[in-house]
A and B are shown apart, each in its own frame.
Chain A
Amino acid sequence: MAVPPWVRLPCLARNLFRRERVERDLEDELASAVEMLAAENVASGMGPEEARREARIALGGVQQVKEAVRESRTGAGLETLWQDVRYALRMLRRSPGFSAVAVATLALGIGANTAIFTVLDATLIAPLPYAEPSRLVMLWTGYREARQPRVPASGHEVLEIRRRSRELAEVAGIWVGAGSLTGEGEPERVRLALTTSNFLGIFGVPPALGRTLLPSDEGAQRPSIVLSDGFWRRRFGGDTAVIGKAVRIDGGLATIVGVMPAGFDVVFAGDSSVPPGIEIFTTFGRDLAEMPRDMGWIRMVARLAPRATPASAQAELSAIAERLRAEFAEYATPGLELQVVPLHADAVRDVKPALLALFAGVGLVVLIACANVANLLLARATGREKEIGLRAALGASRGRIARQLLTESLALSGLGALLGLVVGRLGLAALLALRPASLSRLAPSGLSWTVLGFTLLLAVVTGIICGLAPAVGASRRDLSRALQEGGRGSASLTGRTRPQRVLVFVEVALGFLLLVGAGLLVRTFVSLSGADPGFRPEGTLTLQVSAQGGRYPDDASRRRLAKTLAANLAALPGVEAVGAVSHLPFDDYPNWYEYYWREGASESEKNTAMADHRAVLPGFFESLGAELTQGRGFTDSDDANHPNVILVDETLAKRTWGNESPLGKRLNVSFIHEGSFDSTLAEVVGVVRHVRYRDLGLDGRGQVYVPFFQSVRPELAFTLRSSRGTRADAARLAGPARREVARLDPDLAVSKVRLLEDYVRQARGAARFTTVIAASLAALALLLAGIGIYGVLAYTVAQRSGEIGIRVALGGRPKDIAWLVLRQTVGIVGAGLLAGLAGSLVMTRLLQKLLYGVGPRDLATLAAAAAVLAAVGLAAALIPARRAVRVDPMIALRGE
């Protein structure tokens, strides 16, 4: 009997698109049958009236036959669905107020989800834009004895791993610093990466122009460089003839050999000192094999060999680390370990907890939105009992009615999702404006297919959640009673609002969770804002130069530059103090940290403790607003002609000498002479308070300050404290300071002319991002919960107006009437708060990683969240309560 489906296709088209014609044929056919039967009946002697009636009976009911034929048509299911949808839309149009509120509520919930999910998708889900990105891994060096995980590797280490590993097809290294581009136009300080020649190739992204670096470029007389797309367009106007062109970098000539395509960027973890936006790639200028084995400075990325897994690579590297420890003392003492982490997981490790927390939060918001819409639908279902009863009496099955109601809520959520895409778009724009550096991968193009699919899924899920309660309620309802009561019942009113009250209870509980989460994040942000970084960033301007090559070939020339520039800047009007440092707090320049040990330390004690090193000019601590607690600061006479001296911070002093005074003690630390790092014995002449350089919320390693004049680095960040110490005053120094540099050396590139405050602000960026979003979500949840409570109470008051009227008529006092309404709020909100409290004890532990300066069970936050929710609940109850008090018994009873 079976017929291939395509035979019925024309019928489907006919049934769907030429429906009127098909229906008319059916109508006519049955009419003609009735006529025929009636004619026969007349022939056998019946009166015309009776004949027609008998004919219709013989046919068995024209409408029923029609319905049976319709059911047999191809596409009958689609037909019903279409009918349901049209009916649903008609119902929604009929009550525009209700529909608008429901659609807007869902649009807010779905839109917020779409926005957050876009961020989640771009960051955590979408693969990194490289060839076979899942085969890329980061290799991290760790020093067990020195308790330093995730530190950079030495050049020797990179080469040894590359030589020994079979599980890794390629091992590449990178170090990112700054370089000065001079000649042709303004001198410019660029973000310059030194890499192994295979670094760019490891990503499998072909260059847009020319080639990437080759092994033959390593150690070549004239370095080859590859430009980023952005830098190529900005500096060279996108000229394709740049390939082969020579440019001057740090005084020496380099040849442009390639340009990377637009959208290519190196995405490494925040603590890798490999920031996004590298402008020039070139090879390491020196032979890595000849660099000291205890000088770690290179970050490693590798591509797994064809059949290798991260686990097999880890096993192999652990074995390699063991061999290296056995073979080289430099690796044995600190306890070298090697760790393999998939690149994507490593790159998002900092942002993942926050994004997941926000995603969970926004999930709670959409659940609250669903509860509200379900409430509205329930309230309306009660009002529609008569209509639904009528439909049931006319032969609609309970399943059919439930399906109809579900279609209505799906139509609502579908409209909500459409509008939600718009809301999500706006939300995403706001998120982009707020995003911290760690979310740099988030492209503003936003809506991907994944996101659209997610939104569609969300629409279906929310539609089902919203429609479930009313649909189940309707299919259970006693139909004959519904018809009798006519949608306006009497006795069992409180019993009837139970589903609504349960929903509001759920809303309050979920809202409480959100409020507590947001509260904890706000407190974290406040703690971070109040955290003392060890210096006063207000009122200080900074600018950076690198004195490398060209006019600054040696330490002597760099010293002269630093001394003259500092003096000239100090002479500017409105400048109170001027200093300079090799590494500015919260800058993305790679850190400088090294081993240090006490004078006369045993061999086993060397290479076990590390400290951050900074080379500073006299005046640095004054201009930074950092505090000298013991001894003296550096002076102009702490130079190459005088004994080596250092300052240490309190952390290092305490760790090294306990309560003894560090003054006059001597340490072996790293000094730089003509670019080479030498461990040198130096005397501690002063102690400063610890300065936080990398993490606002946490003290870092101990710190060693060396005089710039004794240990010269090419990069210098000048710090200018304005006399009045205000933001505006500091900002006004920018122009004059730039002119001063240009006057001294027009070829000296200046970069990052920024306020010190802005560095600190940026360091709070991630926390600000999470906090602002969490607070917005909590506010949205509060609003929705408030609307929910209001809706249920207003509905109850309207339904019970008869009862209230009787109470008033019998002399009920306004106070008692109001209490009747408020009592419900107190009950619902109280129960919701208790449940929310229980939930929050579990949930907030998931936030632990994001918190600073506040515990996950902070009592004040819990109390505040409860108070705010209770206040919102009462506020939402006030209007219905007032309405109840004002019920006019005459009108109310007449209505009954």
Chain B
Amino acid sequence: MTAEKSDLLQGTLDLLVLKALAGGPLHGLGVSRRIGLITRGAFEVKPGSLFPALNRLEENGWVAASWGRSENNRRARFYALTKAGQKQLASEEREWTRVATAIGLALEST
């Protein structure tokens, strides 16, 4: 399942980005790789949707961007979760779990 084929819901992408950043600040490519990692390769986020999503989250005040140095000492733009972002992540996780449980129950029933 790739992002381009399974037309990722915007909300899902935002949730994934927030979750990826929960482990600490990352630059754009880092976010995309981290998502690949934590979903075990299920989602591959293309830059064409990643960067707009990062911009959107930043404008919403959930992540903050700043320039820093990458692991191999290149100048890169790093994104970090803000307080509001942590709260947003928590509430979205709860919501997602609730929906997933409900759908899981629905699918298990005969």
Which positions in A face B, CB cutoff 8 Å? 1, 3, 7-8, 11, 25-26, 28-30, 32-33, 35-37, 39, 58-61, 64-65, 68-69, 71-74
Contact = CB atoms under 8 A, between A and B. Distances in A.
Given A60-B46, A60-B47, A28 B77 contact: yes
Contact of B28 (A33, A58, A60, A61): A33
A32 B59 contact: no
Contacts of A28: 67, 75, 77
A71 B52 contact: yes
B51 interface: yes
B74 A36 contact: yes
Given A33-B29, A73-B55, A7 B77 contact: no
Contact of A7 (B48, B61, B67): B61
Nearest to A2: B60
B13 to A, nearest CB: 11
B48 A68 contact: yes
B49 interface: yes
Given A33-B47, A64-B48, A65-B51, 20 more contacts: A3-B61, A7-B60, A7-B61, A8-B59, A8-B60, A11-B58, A25-B65, A28-B67, A29-B28, A29-B76, A32-B76, A35-B74, A36-B70, A37-B29, A68-B51, A69-B51, A71-B52, A72-B53, A72-B56, A74-B59
B14 A1 contact: yes
A333 to B, nearest CB: 86
Contacts of B46: 60
B77 A25 contact: yes
Nearest to B30: A36
Nearest to B91: A1
A30 B61 contact: no
B77 A32 contact: yes
Contacts of B51: 26, 29-30, 65, 68-69
B110 interface: no
A17 to B, nearest CB: 15
B28 A72 contact: no
21 contacts: A1-B11, A1-B14, A7-B60, A8-B59, A8-B60, A11-B58, A28-B67, A29-B28, A30-B51, A32-B27, A32-B74, A33-B29, A33-B47, A33-B76, A36-B29, A36-B74, A37-B29, A65-B47, A72-B53, A73-B59, A74-B59
Interface in B35-82: 46-49, 51-53, 55-56, 58-61, 65, 67, 70, 72, 74-77
Contacts of A39: 72, 74
A36 B76 contact: yes
Given A29-B77, A32-B74, A35-B74, A68 B60 contact: no
Nearest to B49: A68
A536 to B, nearest CB: 85
B52 A32 contact: no
B103 to A, nearest CB: 19
Contacts of A65: 47-48, 51
Contact of B52 (A25, A68, A74): A68
Contacts of A11: 58-59
Nearest to B70: A36
B9 to A, nearest CB: 10
A68 B58 CA distance: 15
* A33, A58, A61 — most chain B CB neighbours (10 Å): A33
Contact of A69 (B55, B67, B72): B55
B48 A72 contact: no
A11 B59 CA distance: 6
* B47, B61, B74, B75 — most chain A CB neighbours (10 Å): B47
A26 B59 CA distance: 14
Nearest to A61: B48
A15 to B, nearest CB: 8
Contacts of B48: 60-61, 64-65, 68
Contacts of B58: 11
A583 to B, nearest CB: 81
B48 to A, nearest CB: 5
Nearest to B88: A1
A80 to B, nearest CB: 16
Nearest to B58: A11
A884 to B, nearest CB: 56
A67 to B, nearest CB: 9
Contacts of B72: 36, 39
Chain A to chain B: the 8 pairs with minimum beta-carbon distance, closest first: A72-B52, A11-B59, A29-B77, A3-B60, A68-B52, A60-B48, A59-B47, A32-B76
